[in-house]
């Protein structure tokens, strides 16, 4: 049975006594000096990790005999990454110093011989002795420690004032064996995510998740414009106000809930998740010859973030070409859409019913009437099924299913069932 290995990283705050803090601070200072020296050498000579090992290993072992060997080897990787990033920034004209500056470092212990987690404490072997850091436990750590996940050998430590943050990495293998004729086809749009569910190669249901991310992007752009009007964004007061907007956190929260909903659909139907393939280059081409505001909206389109979150789930995710999926019916007839605004009612968490205005794009092709986002999801599902060599049974019209409205914060709302065939359009 095919399996999928997932990785999770948990951040844990750690505290130590004055002696432990002094020891770790000396380790951090030595590590920073090593990275600075090797990064400068790598920039000047284009050195690789193997070259840095030949040039610096014996020297650093003499100077820092008390440091774990694998910590020195971890500094090679850190220096090479910093040198590569600095050369790329310098090529773009974004480097403002002659050599890379090392301001913050993360200590990497890559072998379980140098550290262990036991009794609610993190024990590190430094200079032939063990030093202890008390860990502040939390629910997420317990979930991975006792939920069937295995702790890897890599530990990362970063100083935050007088305490340290430990990054623990967990891995787990999941059995992923979906029915190839069951598909959850996902079409990601600016303000919604539409999912078409195929069971046995036949369209069963359609879900429309109203994310409102496009409207959120426009609203935040306007708020930023008003905050920074007449002032530069480097102004401290402007920067403080912009940080309080929490735009990234709110958008990521909505996308995570959308990914969780799609995961539940895939698990319920034992299905493959098929998503339209939108590369970074494709997004850049969309932004060409567009106005500033439209370019910003396209750039903020969260399709790649959603795909990344889905790939981190214990489900099978397949990307298929979505060229022409929203412009032709399943029978291959080109269709033209016109805007349509409808109103429906949803029941909120308090039980109160409130009206919701939805902006649709509806078109007719022969006797069929389609909504554009639903059509895109259906065509993505049919395209995936045909790629697998299955006989996909396309619906004879949009009346075959009903699109159910979903709020990412409240879940499915029973009063918000919207027919994909719009009688008003007729």
pTM: 0.80
- Per-residue confidence (pLDDT) for residue 26, from 0 to 100: 93
Extended strands (E) in 366-410: 368-371, 402-407
Place of tokens 């619906």: 395
E strand residue ranges, 200-322: 202-210, 272-276, 317-320
Give pLDDT, residue 231.
79
Instruction: Break the chain down into helix, strand, coil percent, rounded to 5.
Output: 40, 30, 30
Domain boundaries, the chain: 3-174, 183-419
DSSP code at position 393: B
* Token digits of residue 98: 């002659």
Q: What is the mean pLDDT of each run of 10 residues along the chain (426 residues)?
A: 88 93 93 94 92 92 89 90 92 86 90 88 90 90 92 93 93 92 91 90 88 82 82 79 83 90 93 85 60 59 84 92 85 86 71 77 83 90 79 48 64 48 40
Short-list 13, 90, 80, CA closest to 50? 80
- pLDDT for 41: 94
Please name every residue paired with 210 in a beta bridge, in sequence order, or none if there are none. 192
């Amino acid at each position: 049975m095919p399996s999928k290995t997932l990785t999770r990283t948990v951040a844990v705050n750690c505290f130590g006594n004055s002696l432990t803090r002094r020891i770790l601070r000396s380790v951090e200072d030595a590590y920073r000096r090593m990275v600075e020296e090797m990064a400068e050498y790598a920039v000047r000579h284009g050195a690789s990790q193997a070259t840095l090992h030949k040039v610096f290993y014996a020297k650093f072992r003499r100077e820092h005999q008390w440091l774990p060997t694998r910590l020195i080897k971890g500094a090679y990787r850190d220096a090479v990454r910093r040198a590569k990033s600095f050369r790329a920034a310098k090529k773009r004209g974004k480097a403002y110093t002659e050599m890379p500056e090392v301001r913050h470092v993360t200590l990497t212990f890559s072998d379980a011989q140098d550290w262990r987690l036991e009794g609610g404490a993190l024990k590190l072997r430094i200079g032939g002795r063990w030093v202890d850091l008390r860990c502040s436990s939390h629910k997420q750590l317990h979930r991975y420690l006792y939920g069937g996940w295995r702790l890897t050998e890599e530990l990362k430590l970063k100083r935050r004032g007088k305490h340290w943050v430990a990054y623990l990495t967990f891995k787990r293998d999941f059995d992923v064996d979906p029915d190839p004729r069951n598909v959850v086809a996902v079409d990601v749009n600016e303000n919604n995510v539409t999912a078409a569910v195929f069971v046995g190669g036949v369209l069963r249901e359609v879900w429309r998740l109203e994310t409102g991310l496009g409207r959120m992007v426009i609203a935040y752009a306007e708020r930023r414009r008003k905050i920074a009007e007449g002032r530069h964004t480097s102004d401290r007061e402007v920067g403080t106000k912009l940080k309080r907007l929490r735009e990234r956190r709110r958008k990521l929260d909505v996308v995570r809930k959308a990914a969780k909903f799609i995961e539940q659909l895939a698990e319920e139907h034992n299905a493959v998740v098929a998503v339209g393939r939108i590369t970074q280059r494709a997004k850049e081409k969309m932004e060409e010859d567009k106005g500033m505001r439209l370019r910003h909206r396209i750039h903020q389109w969260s399709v790649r973030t959603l795909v990344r979150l889905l790939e981190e789930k214990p489900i099978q995710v397949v990307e298929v070409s979505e060229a022409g999926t929203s412009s032709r019916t399943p029978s291959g007839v080109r269709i033209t859409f016109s805007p349509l605004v409808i109103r429906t009612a949803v029941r909120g968490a308090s039980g109160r019913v409130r009206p919701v205005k939805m902006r649709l794009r509806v078109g007719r092709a022969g006797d069929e009437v389609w909504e554009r986002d639903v059509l895109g999801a259906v065509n993505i599902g049919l395209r995936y099924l045909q790629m697998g060599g299955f006989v996909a049974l396309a619906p004879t019209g949009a009346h075959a299913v009903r699109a159910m409205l979903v709020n990412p914060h409240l879940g499915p709302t029973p009063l918000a069932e919207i027919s994909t065939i719009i009688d008003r359009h007729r």
